[in-house]
Amino acid sequence: MTHPRARLRVVCWLLLVSTLNAACGTGVPQTATVSAVPAAQPAAVGEALVVALASAPTTLDPADHRDRQSETVIRNIFDGLVTRDTRTGVHLELAESLTWPDDHTLQVTLRRGVLFHDGVEMTADDVVFTFERLIGENAIEYPDSHTSPRKALLAPLEGITRLDDYTVEMHFDGPWPPALQMLVHQQIVPRHYVEAVGSQEFAAHPIGTGPFRFVSASADLHEIVLERFDGYYGGAPDMAPGGPACLGRVIFRTVSDGRTRAAALHAGDL
């Protein structure tokens, strides 16, 4: 199986499987085990879901990873300009519209009224900051100054320009057919917060625009607790289910041994 679908704004077990599948691949990964609610019994609003990961995420900073476990958690805290499913491809998410003025310029108009988890509205400044942090040399200062390991995913991106509060232009070095597919995997971060607290604190206590907000994590990231963000804007309008997540809480736990994960699932511990 390929990459995990890392979105958990779900109503029931079957929707959870569909959601996990769609963002990064075609199947639920062997590295994650999820507590199952029978299809005839949807998860109640406010119910908690426990997800077992085969290894711990390396970070909760969207710009500082290249591993599936990190992305599984990160994509529940953060949203991107676009997302995708396995049937119809790319869907608008934080972007309201996309246009190509020419074959190497992408103009992105943002949704208005989208809030970060601290209540601050997302604007073009956050989008510009996000991508400058992704492609800039030594733009991440913790633990030492270094370039984002995700820069190679955006190699043709030469720069990004703010046109107004809700519009940006991305400038590529030429035609780049996979551009939208690559944007799926880049989540928008809050400029005001990252600049105020720095990369270390941001990774320890992340704030995004996604359906779940960060609550707590162990120092080794072997357990991460998220809760529903009631101010969520709803996600991609043409991908069900929309709106705030029905689950009240999601707990990610690292359980390295596959047999232990299976036993915990059967015992109802996951």
* 3-state secondary structure string across the chain: CCCCCCCCCCCCHHHHHHHHHHCCCCCCCCCEEECCCCCCCCCCCCCEEEEEECCCCCCCCCCCCCCHHHHHHHHHHCCECEEEECCCEEEECCEEEEEEEECCEEEEEECCCCECCCCCECCHHHHHHHHHHHHCCCCECCCCCECCCCHHHHCCEEEEEEEECCEEEEEECCCCCCHHHHHCCCECCCHHHHHHHHHHHHHHCCCCCCCEEEEEECCCCCEEEEEECCCCCCCCCCCCCCCCCCCCEEEEEECCCHHHHHHHHHHCCC
Residue 248 makes CB contacts below 8 A (sequence gap 6+) with 45, 46, 47, 48, 227, 228
Rounded Cα gap, residues 63 and 55, in angstroms: 19
The pLDDT score that the predictor gives to residue 25 is 34
When pLDDT is averaged across residues 99-124 and rounded to a whole number, the result is 98
Rounded Cα gap, residues 117 and 172, in angstroms: 31
Q: Is the confidence at residue 16, as pLDDT, over 90?
A: no
Q: What are phi and psi of 136, to 5 degrees?
A: -75, 145
Q: Is the confidence at residue 217, as pLDDT, over 60?
A: yes
At residue 259 the predicted structure's pLDDT band, cuts being 50, 70 and 90, is confident
Of 80 and 240, the one with more pLDDT:
80
Vertex 135: Cα angle to 113 and 103 (nearest 5): 75
At residue 24 the predicted structure's pLDDT band, cuts being 50, 70 and 90, is very low
Residues 159-212 have pLDDT tens digits of 999 999 999 999 999 999 999 999 999 999 999 999 999 999 999 999 999 999
Round the average pLDDT of the chain to a whole number and report it. 85
What domains does the chain contain, in order, with CATH numbers?
13-267 (3.40.190.10)
Rounded Cα gap, residues 52 and 73, in angstroms: 11
The pLDDT score that the predictor gives to residue 194 is 99
Rounded Cα gap, residues 169 and 163, in angstroms: 7
230, exposed or middle or buried, with CB in 10 Å at 0-12, 13-18, 19+? exposed
Of 189 and 23, the one with more pLDDT:
189
Residue with tokens 């492609």: 135
Rounded Cα gap, residues 149 and 81, in angstroms: 20
What predicted TM-score, i.e. pTM, was given to this entire model? Answer: 0.84
The pLDDT score that the predictor gives to residue 40 is 32
Q: What are phi and psi of 4, to 5 degrees?
A: -80, 150
